[in-house]
Amino acid sequence: MRRRLISSTLAVVLVVIAVFGLSLVVVETRTIQSSARDGVQSEAVRLVGIVENRIRAGEPVDAKGLDRQVAENRYAVVHVPGRPVVNLGARPHGGVISATQNGDHGESVTVEEARSTVSGEIGRTLLVILAVALLAVLAAVALAVRQARRLASPLTDLAETAERLGSGDPRPRHRRYGVPELDRIADVLDASAERIGRMLTAERRLAADASHQLRTPLTALSMRLEEIVATAEDQDAVKEEATIALGQVERLTDVVQRLLTNSRDPRTGSAVDFDLDEVIKQQVEEWRPAYQAEGRSVVLSGARRLRAVGTPGAVAQVLATLIENSLMHGAGTVTLHTRVTGNQAVVEVTDNGPGVPPDLGPRVFERTVSGRNSTGLGLAVARDLAEADGGRLELLQHRPPVFALFLAQEIPPQPPREKVIS
In a domain, 340, yes or no: yes
Domain holding 25, by residue range, is 2-142
DSSP state of 360: T
Q: How far apart are CA 115 and CA 29, in angstroms?
A: 12
In a domain, 309, yes or no: yes
Cβ-contact 54, 61 below 8 angstroms: yes
Question: What CATH number did the domain enclosing 315 receive?
Answer: 3.30.565.10
Q: How far apart are CA 76 and CA 43, in angstroms?
A: 9
DSSP state of 375: -
Cβ-contact 195, 165 below 8 angstroms: no
How many folded domains does the chain comprise? 2
Q: How far apart are CA 362 and CA 379, in angstroms?
A: 13
In a domain, 22, yes or no: yes
Q: How far apart are CA 114 and CA 22, in angstroms?
A: 25
Q: How far apart are CA 182 and CA 356, in angstroms?
A: 52
- Of 142, 169, 202, which residue is a domain's last? 142
Point out which residues pair with 220 in neighbouring strands.
none
In a domain, 198, yes or no: no
Q: How far apart are CA 262 and CA 281, in angstroms?
A: 27
In a domain, 148, yes or no: no
In a domain, 44, yes or no: yes
- Of 142, 177, 211, which residue is a domain's last? 142
Torsional class of 400: left (φ above 0), alpha (ψ -120 to 50), beta (otherwise): beta
In a domain, 332, yes or no: yes
Cβ-contact 296, 286 below 8 angstroms: no
* Shared domain check, 273 and 138: no
Q: How far apart are CA 86 and CA 68, in angstroms?
A: 13
Interacting residues of 79 by C-beta distance below 8 A, sequence separation 6+: 85, 107, 108, 109, 110
How many other CB atoms sit within 10 Å of the CB of residue 212?
Answer: 19
Tell me the Cα Rg of the chain: 52
Q: How far apart are CA 367 and CA 379, in angstroms?
A: 8
Q: How far apart are CA 393 and CA 375, in angstroms?
A: 19
Point out which residues pair with 100 in neighbouring strands.
110
In a domain, 170, yes or no: no
- What one-letter code names the amino acid at 329? H
Question: What CATH number did the domain enclosing 92 receive?
Answer: 3.30.450.250
Please give the chain's pLDDT, 422 residues, in tens: 667 777 777 788 888 888 888 888 888 888 888 888 898 888 888 888 888 888 887 777 777 767 777 777 888 888 888 788 888 888 887 788 888 888 887 888 888 888 888 888 888 888 998 898 888 888 888 888 887 777 777 777 777 777 777 776 777 777 777 778 778 888 888 888 888 778 877 777 776 666 666 666 666 776 766 677 666 666 676 667 666 776 666 666 666 666 555 554 444 456 788 999 999 999 998 888 889 989 999 999 999 999 999 888 889 989 999 999 899 888 999 999 999 998 999 999 999 988 888 877 777 888 766 655 555 577 888 898 888 888 999 999 988 999 999 999 875 555 554 443 43
Longest dimension (CA), the chain: 166
Three-class SS state of 377: coil
- Tell me the CB-side half-sphere exposure of residue 369, using CA atoms within 13 A: 14
Going through 94-238 in order, the beta strands assigned E by DSSP cover: 96-102, 108-114
pLDDT number for residue 344: 93
- Of 87, 115, 142, which residue is a domain's last? 142
Q: Nearest CA to 404 among 371, 375, 365?
A: 365
